[in-house]
């Protein structure tokens, strides 16, 4: 037999669970800026506006990065695997592409950066 | 010198219930789990039975002794696992204390069990987060863990319900 209090707790729990999923599994929205990290150089953050192409120098050579229509991608990179190029366009906050051989990481950030630091 | 410890009926009851809870706890620790932190927590059936039949004091003793002795037997005493178990047990008996103050018909086994499971899981999660893995990525696990707490809390509540019915039937037939 379930009492009224039992039902209330059960229904509240079932009702609140979806909001927990939305909060932690939900879409973080469109990306608004891009952060480019290259080994041995300070990070640079650019807004994801306009159309531009630029090169970033890494230990292997130059990687070409393109910003267009609020998205960003690796156009080319002097690495063997080409994982970074195959990552394609980054448009949603939280996505990232990296060229580890060339020591370059590109990540896109949303309006509210949920985590501004991670500590251990 | 001859030392004797006078034990009460209450002490014996706590000891028996704790022994039962530890047995279930250890049997369950052998079960594989898809995710760390997710397990049925059937030993809590004993805690809820103790709460409903004998009151919160007995339930709290049974829950805490189970964590202590269970960890000594499994070999996790003072390890991170132990700390998580202890945090969970403390939170769930605190939740049960508050829940048992509800006037009227109050909670039944399912409500108590669900509240205890949610409190247990939340306390373990935040202990893990603050003490061991202060990484925001851990929060991605929270919805899954709380879903598991919901399912297992209600399931053990229903098992508790059945156990209580059997216990009461046995008491009646013993009279």
Q: Is residue A91 part of a domain?
A: yes
Contacting residues for A59 by C-beta, under 8 A, at least 6 apart: A39, A101, A102, A103
User: CA B96 from chain center: how many Å?
Assistant: 10
> How many domains is chain A partitioned into structurally?
1
pLDDT in tens, B19-78: 999 999 989 888 887 776 688 889 999 999 999 999 999 999 999 999 999 999 988 899
In whole angstroms, what is the distance from residue B160 CA to residue B108 CA? 10
Q: Decide if pLDDT at B79 tops 60.
A: yes
Strands A33-38 and A44-47: antiparallel
Mean pLDDT by 10 residues, chain A (120 residues): 90 93 80 87 87 90 91 91 89 85 87 56
Q: Is residue A73 part of a domain?
A: yes
Sketch the domain layout of chain B as residue ranges.
9-174
Confidence class for position B148, pLDDT limits 50, 70, 90: very high
The Cα of B6 is separated from the nearest Cα of chain A by a number of Å equal to: 39
pLDDT in tens, B109-123: 999 999 999 999 999
CATH number of domain containing A65: 2.60.320.10
A25 lies within 8 A of chain B by CB: yes
Classify the phi-psi angles of A94: left when phi > 0, otherwise alpha if psi is within -120 to 50, otherwise beta.
left
Place of tokens 């030392």: B3
Element (H, E) at A18: helix A4-25
Q: Is residue A43 part of a domain?
A: yes
CB B42 within 8 Å of CB B85: no
* Strands, sheet with A44-47, edge to edge from the N-terminal-most edge strand: A44-47, A33-38, A104-109, A96-99
Interface residues on B facing A, Cβ-Cβ cutoff 8 A: 99, 102, 104-108, 110-111, 114-115, 118, 134-136, 139-140, 142-143, 146-147, 150, 154, 157, 161
CATH code that applies to domain B9-174: 1.10.1760.20
List of chain B residues whose C-beta atoms are within 8 Å of the C-beta of residue A118: 135-136
Model ipTM value: 0.85
Domain that includes residue A70, residue range: 33-109
């Amino acid at each position: 037999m379930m009492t009224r209090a039992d039902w209330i707790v059960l229904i509240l729990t079932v009702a609140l669970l979806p909001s927990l999923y939305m909060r932690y599994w939900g879409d973080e929205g469109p990306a608004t800026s891009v952060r480019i990290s290259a080994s041995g150089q300070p990070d640079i953050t650019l807004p994801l506006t306009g159309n531009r192409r630029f090169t970033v120098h890494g230990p292997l050579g130059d990687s070409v990065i393109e910003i267009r229509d609020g998205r960003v991608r690796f156009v080319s990179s002097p690495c063997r695997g080409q994982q970074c190029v195959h990552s394609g366009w980054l448009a949603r906050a939280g996505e990232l592409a990296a060229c580890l051989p060339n020591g370059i990481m590109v990540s896109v950030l949303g309006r509210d950066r949920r985590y501004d630091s991670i500590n251990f | 010198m001859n030392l004797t410890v006078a034990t009460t009926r209450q002490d014996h009851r706590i000891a028996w219930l704790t022994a039962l809870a530890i047995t279930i706890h250890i049997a369950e620790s052998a079960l594989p789990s898809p995710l760390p932190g997710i397990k049925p927590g059937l030993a809590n059936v004993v805690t809820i039975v103790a709460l409903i039949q004998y009151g919160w004091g007995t339930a709290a003793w049974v829950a805490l002794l189970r964590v202590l002795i269970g960890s000594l037997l499994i070999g996790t005493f003072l390890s991170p696992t132990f700390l998580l178990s202890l945090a969970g047990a403390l939170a769930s008996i605190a939740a049960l204390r508050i829940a048992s103050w509800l006037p009227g018909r109050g909670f039944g086994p399912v409500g108590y069990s669900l509240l205890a499971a949610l409190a247990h899981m939340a306390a373990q999660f935040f202990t893990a987060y603050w003490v061991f893995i202060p990484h925001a990525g851990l929060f991605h696990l929270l919805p899954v863990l709380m879903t598991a707490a919901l399912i297992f809390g209600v399931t053990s509540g229903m098992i508790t319900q059945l156990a209580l019915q059997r216990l009461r039937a046995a008491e009646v037939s013993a009279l």
